[in-house]
Structure 1
Amino acid sequence: MPIRFEWYENPTTPDQEEEIKHYHARPTLNGRVDTTQLAQQIQGRCSLTKVDVAAVLDALSAVVAEHLQEGKRVHLDGLGYFHISLAVDGEVEAQTKRRNTKVRMK
């Protein structure tokens, strides 16, 4: 199945005087699927009941979250890698006071 995407122009800073524009691809999101829907679909493909599948997905979520909180990267075969991403609110310099309070999870 092909991945749907759109092209977006890369932002430039005022000091860049390039005449050639560069682009990057972003996936086009098409809706949302929740745990209940996943459990129903998985039930149709195996011998587990919807309740059993929901319990496994709930346990998986909890265990993955524990490993992520420990700073580990989690790999689920066929699904991908998961890791914590951080962002910083505002500008942080060496002399910034309480700079740890400006870090948050993305």
Structure 2
Amino acid sequence: MQMTAEIQKKFIMPIKYKLIEKSQPGVVNGGTKKWYANVYNDGEVTIDDLVKQIEKFSALSEADIRGVVIALENVMQDELANGKIIRMDKLGSFYPSLSSEGVVKPEDFTAANIKSAKVNYRPGKRILDILSTATFKKKE
């Protein structure tokens, strides 16, 4: 069962934000401070929560959904460790990236110059679209 856009919008709440004061980067003594919006994370949703929500729109059982999610996590770990981009259609893409120290000459570079690896996420169009129509409410 797929949610229509109309039904989906009924479940969408405004994104709450709070204001934080920031200094100008790179300016001695911080320069002129200004106030900026920062997302107020209003709780979290766990795998258990997601599985229960997915179960409502699927013929699969909770155990089946949980099994698929765990299997997906295992496969993603392997593929990211192999340097692959994982394209998940409308969900978006996950891809590995590196942080390294620079060297003057390419021949001086070794794997020891790599400081860390991380996973980046690029959201798909549907996720970007829903955020482009988001409403906002100041956290009180």
Q: TM-score, normalised by structure 2?
A: 0.51
CA distance in 2, matches of 1:87, 1:23: 31
The residue aligned with 2:103 is 94
3-state SS in 1 of match to 2:87: strand
**Kindly tell me: are residues 87 and 37 of structure 1, through their superposed partners in 2, closer, same or farther at Cα, counting changes over 3 Å?**
same
Greater percentage in helix: 2
User: 1:105 deviation in Å?
Assistant: 2.9
Runs of 4 or more consecutive aligned structure 1 residues displaced over 4 Å after TM superposition: 1-11, 21-28
Which structure carries more relative contact order (alpha carbon 8 Å, separation 6+)? 2
Q: Deviations over 1:51-98 (max 9, x none)?
A: 00000000111111111111111111221111123345xxx4538xx8
* Identical pairs, percent: 26
User: 1:50 deviation in Å?
Assistant: 0.2
User: 1:22 deviation in Å?
Assistant: 9.5
Q: TM-score, normalised by structure 1?
A: 0.63
Greater percentage in strand: 2
The residue aligned with 1:84 is 96
Q: CA RMSD in A?
A: 3.4
- What runs of 5+ residues in structure 1 fail to find an aligned partner? none
**Kindly tell me: are residues 77 and 102 of structure 1, through their superposed partners in 2, closer, same or farther at Cα, counting changes over 3 Å?**
closer
3-state SS in 1 of match to 2:54: helix
3-state SS in 2 of match to 1:47: coil
The residue aligned with 2:130 is none
CA distance in 2, matches of 1:22, 1:68: 39
3-state SS in 2 of match to 1:37: helix
- Mapped contact 2:102–2:113 kept (Cα < 8 A): no
- Mapped contact 1:10–1:24 kept (Cα < 8 A): no
